[in-house]
Chains A and B, each alone.
Chain A
Amino acid sequence: MKFLDEFRNSDLTGKYLQAIKATIRQPWTIMEICGGQTHSILKYGLDQMLPDEITLLHGPGCPVCVTPIELIDMAIGIAGQPNVILCTFGDMMRVPGSDGNLLDARARGNDIRMVYSPLESLKIAENNPDKRIVFFGIGFETTAPTTALALKKAKKNRFDNYFVLSAHVRVPPAIELILSSPENRVQAFLAAGHVCTVMGYREYIPIAENFHVPIVVTGFEPVDILQGICMAINQLERGAAAVENQYSRVVSENGNSMARKLIDEVFETTSRKWRGIGEIAGGGLSIKPDYAAYDAARVFGPVVAKVEESPRCLSGKVLRGLIKPPECPAFAVDCSPANPLGAPMVSAEGACAAYYNYSISRQGPIGG
């Protein structure tokens, strides 16, 4: 397939591997931010190809993984109210809350629908004027613009039955949190290409300077990732700490100005609890007061939820890059995609699911 096969080409991956091997002189630890990158690494076995000096740590860039359990419980609580249709992305359906997930809630008879876009949920609102439609909006800066667009359209067309429960999160504060931790092992980052498509990479320049850490905006295909690693290693070996853009076929410095404008119009940054990580200042996007009438968190009031995380799940350590999934004692023993203890075992972007689904070594010792 054009525009994809070129980036899965074994000649090119070989070329970048050679370049990495020719450059590297000492061990380095690199974190890829996005769960999509983690899945590519495991799916294509890129971790099997890299020299032993490179340790890849898997970052927190899995939006459903970091969605706090309180918000999932709240979504399930809202779905249980009369005349409500709860809509969300498919990936969110299996993430465990305190008492089951959205699929379980649907099996109990609640009307919970999977949509590909918030605009689909707006159409459902239009077609069901006697129902209250709540879109559970999750994702990073990538999905926030379409949620913003749906809210803008709802306001413009004076919908009185459309609401959004915002669980949108922002990447840069999470990077700062990881770098500020005394336990931090990360020496360079592969930044998430899709997030930067929307936001550009200006926000990353002060982070690279302040923490003296190379940040390479990187795509998702095998060639992208190996080139991104190659650029990071080049910087590390030279002692450089700049923001570079590997994903230049998609990402520009300023990103997509229209999408950014939409986010600014509807959302404001807020402190948000990230599942497994904790409160991150500026780590979330909440709905501005102008749109209060559409904010499910306000309209449906505080839902008192009994929040219960499994004590056996070490996903917090996985999400902060402190351990790899197979190092968790519950991995593939008590915890599997069929019976997940934590969100990273469920999501198509979760690091634990990536190891479970693709890695030959999931039952054996792992490298790195």
Chain B
Amino acid sequence: MKKQPDNRAVPMSAPACPVPPTNYENILLAHGGGGKLTADLIEKLFLPAFGDPALDERHDGAEINIGRIRLAMTTDSFVVTPLFFPGGDIGRLAVYGTLNDLAMCGARPLFLSAAFIIEEGLPLKTVHQVADSMGKAAKSSGIRLITGDTKVIERKSGNDLFVTTTGIGIIEHGLKISPQSIMKGDKIILSGDIGRHGTAVMACREGFEFETTIESDCAPLWNQVEIMLRENIEIHCLRDLTRGGLATALVEIAETSGLRLEIEESLIPVSDQVAGACEILGLDPLYVANEGRFICFVPEKQAGAAIGLLRQSAPNAAIIGQATDTPKKDYSNIRVVMKTPLGTSRIIDRITGDQLPRIC
């Protein structure tokens, strides 16, 4: 794995045996939040235990070559409360989420498996609705849901359903789409306004007295990728913005690529509704989850063409910044810098744990 200098990271000589990751003895919710604790868990526990070079890419999926055929494979588990939310449900999320991870490898999604862990007592009607939603999502995306598994666990709270999907896709171009392919000068394109999924789900959680009409952006992304590939846009890297939001995706890519990323706040589209909800809740939209947005790194000379193609289906797509040189020695651990609307700059870092609402 390519390690970047970071004076807060553990030294390379740290033991690769099962030591407790970070300073925590137990798993906290934040270990699944996509932030620093998640990164710690992956780097200090899973990667040393699995030890496969394919994992070193730190991409949304792995590429496998069988003869001359390039395939991509990815897997994802879905837990969301509530199971049905404005703009989607766990079923659609499970199909599109995995499909999107394949698309982010530049792969045309072909096949999907689905595994269910269902809590005793869950109404059958709920399972039916989710399955139906998955079937429709798969059909409309042109992929086949071809195998699955079901397990039932003892009742705890009575309403849980976890879905895991695994996807296989085919890579039909000669590009290597990964953070390592990003070049200095590449433009960063964002495919639409951010923060819809996270705010939509949060606003409809039980006990949360906050009403909005914000809908999740949950949507398949392959078509948007395909149109760019078809028009020979030399895509260097793709990343969908799920948990942890735009900020986390940028930090991850910057760390893996070894480049510094510079973005401009005023170029990042956020709808008024999402901006307002985040303002009230004390959340930063940069860190709020999305389920139908991605960033794309392309050579500067093709950025205009790429934006033109994306805007056919994503009118809010925008160039938000660029990749620049490896950071200077002094600020080696600052990977992502954002220019504020006032012309000043601030750093963008991973968030520690989940975003917690502020007090006043």
Residues of A within 8 A of B (CB): 1, 4, 8, 10, 13, 36, 42-46, 48-49, 63-64, 89-94, 103-104, 107-108, 114-117, 120, 123-124, 138-140, 142-143, 194, 222, 332, 336-339, 348-349, 356-360, 362-364
Q: Which residues of chain B in 331-360 are interfacial with respect to chain A, using CB atoms and an 8 Å cutoff? A: 331, 333-334, 337, 340-347, 349, 352-353, 356-360
Contact between chains at A90 and B343 (CB < 8 Å): no
Choice from A114, A123, A339 contacting B357 with Cβ under 8 Å = A114
- Known contacts A49-B344, A338-B352; decide if A1 and B357 are in contact (CB<8 Å): no
Q: Once the chains are docked, how many angstroms separate the CA of A226 from the CA of B216?
A: 37
Given the contacts A139-B360, A338-B37, A357 and B347 also touching, CB distance less than 8 Å = yes
* List of B residues within 8 angstroms of A8 by Cβ: 341-342
Which of B11-19, B27-35, B143-151, B228-236 has 4 or more CB atoms under 8 Å from chain A?
B27-35
B157 within 8 A of A: no
- Chain A residue at minimal CB-CB distance from B278: A1
B331 closest partner in A (C-beta): A363
Q: Quick check: is B181 within 8 A (CB to CB) of the other chain?
A: no
Q: Is B142 an interface residue (CB 8 A)?
A: no
How distant is the Cα of A46 from the Cα of B27 in the complex, in angstroms? 38
Most chain B beta carbons < 10 A, residue from A123, A139, A337: A337
Chain B residues with CB under 8 A of A364: 330-331
Query: Can you identify 12 A-B contacts, CB atoms within 8 angstroms?
Result: A10-B343, A45-B342, A64-B359, A89-B357, A89-B359, A90-B357, A92-B359, A114-B357, A120-B209, A140-B360, A142-B359, A360-B346
Closest CB-CB distance, B298 to chain A, in whole Å? Answer: 27
A360 engages B353 (CB within 8 Å): no
Tell whether, in the assembled complex, residue A357 and residue B26 are in contact, meaning their CB atoms are under 8 Å apart.
Answer: no
| Neighbour of B358 across the interface among A43, A48, A49, A348, CB < 8 A | A348
Residue of A nearest to B270 (CB): A1
A143 x B356 contact (CB < 8 A) = no
B352 touches A337 (CB 8 A): yes
Is B132 an interface residue when CB atoms closer than 8 A count as contact?
no
Query: B65 contacts the other chain (Cβ, under 8 Å)?
Result: no
| Neighbouring B residues of A107 by C-beta, 8 Å | 24, 26-29
Contact status B346-A43, CB under 8 Å: yes
Residue of A nearest to B360 (CB): A142
Residues of B within 8 A of A94 (CB): 352-353, 356
Asked whether B26 lies within 8 Å of A108 as measured between CB atoms, the reply is yes
Q: Is the CB of B333 within 8 A of A363?
A: yes
A94 to B359, CA, bound (A): 13
Interface size bracket, B side: 35 or more
**Central interface residue in B23, B36, B281, B344, by most chain A CB within 10 Å:** B344
- Find out whether the CB atom of A91 lies under 8 angstroms from the CB atom of B358: yes
Q: In the complex the two chains form, is A1's CB within 8 Å of B276's CB?
A: yes
Does B208 make an interface contact (CB < 8 A)?
A: yes
Complex Cα–Cα for A206 and B36 (A)? 47
Residues of A contacting B36 in the complex (Cβ-Cβ under 8 angstroms): 337-338
Known A-B contacts: A90-B356, A116-B209, A364-B330. Give 11 more (CB < 8 A).
A1-B272, A13-B342, A44-B344, A108-B26, A120-B209, A142-B360, A336-B352, A338-B352, A339-B23, A360-B337, A363-B330
Q: Point out the residues of chain B lying under 8 angstroms from A49, CB to CB.
A: 342-344
A1 touches B275 (CB 8 A): yes
Is there contact, CB below 8 Å, between A10 and B359? no
CB distance from B196 to the nearest CB of A (A): 16
- What residues on A are CB-neighbors of B357 within 8 Å? 89-91, 114, 116
B22 located at the interface, meaning its Cβ lies under 8 Å from any Cβ of chain A in the complex:
yes
Q: Are B359 and A63 in contact (CB under 8 A)?
A: yes
Q: Using an 8 Å CB-CB cutoff, how does the interface string of B311-340 with A read, 1 for contact, 0 for none?
A: 000000000000000000011011001001
Q: Cβ of B207 < 8 Å from any Cβ of A?
A: yes
Cross-chain contact A348 with B347 (CB below 8 angstroms): no
Residues of B within 8 A of A356 (CB): 349
B347 touches A360 (CB 8 A): yes
Question: Contacts A116-B208, A364-B330: A45 and B345 contacting too (C-beta < 8 A)?
Answer: yes
Determine whether B279 belongs to the interface, using a CB cutoff of 8 Å to chain A: yes
Is there contact, CB below 8 Å, between A46 and B344? yes
A362 and B334 alpha carbons, distance in the complex (Å): 9
- A44 to B343: give the CA distance in the assembly, Å: 9
Could you mark each residue 278-306 of chain B with 1 if its beta carbon is under 8 Å from any beta carbon of chain A, else 0? 01011000000000000000000000000
Least Cβ–Cβ distance between A30 and chain B, in angstroms: 18
Contacts of B359 in A (CB 8 A): 63-64, 89, 91-92, 138-139, 142-143, 348-349
Q: Are A332 and B8 in contact (CB under 8 A)?
A: yes
Known: A49-B342, A120-B207. Is A362-B347 also a contact (CB below 8 A)? yes
Which residues of A lie under 8 Å from residue B28 when comparing CB positions?
103-104, 107
- Whether A194 contacts B30 by the Cβ 8 Å rule is no
Query: Are B331's CB and A360's CB within 8 A?
Result: yes
- CB pair B360–A359 under 8 Å, yes or no, is no
B28: nearest chain-A partner, CB-CB: A107
- Smallest CB separation, A257 vs chain B (Å): 19
Q: How far is the CB of A29 from chain B (nearest CB, A)?
A: 21
A49 to B345: give the CA distance in the assembly, Å.
11
Q: Which 8 A-B pairs have the closest CB atoms?
A: A45-B344, A90-B356, A337-B352, A348-B358, A90-B357, A142-B360, A358-B346, A107-B26
**Contact between A103 and B279 (Cβ–Cβ < 8 Å)?**
no
Residues of B within 8 A of A91 (CB): 356-359
Residues from chain A with Cβ under 8 Å of B279 in the complex: 1, 4
Chain B nearest CB, measured from A325 CB (Å): 14
Please pick, from A4, A114, A124, A338, the residue contacting B22 in the complex, using a CB distance under 8 A.
Answer: A338
Residue numbers in A under 8 Å from B349 (CB-CB): 356-357
Chain A's nearest CB lies how many Å from the CB of B80? 18
Which residues from chain B contact A10 at a C-beta distance below 8 Å? 341-343
Closest to A39 in B: B358
Most buried by B among A103, A194, A336, A338: A338
- Per the bound structure, the CA–CA distance linking A42 and B344 in Å amounts to 10
Which residues of the other chain, A, contact B26 by a CB distance below 8 angstroms? 104, 107-108
Residues on B with beta carbons closer than 8 Å to the beta carbon of A332: 8
CA of A256 to CA of B22, assembled, Å: 46
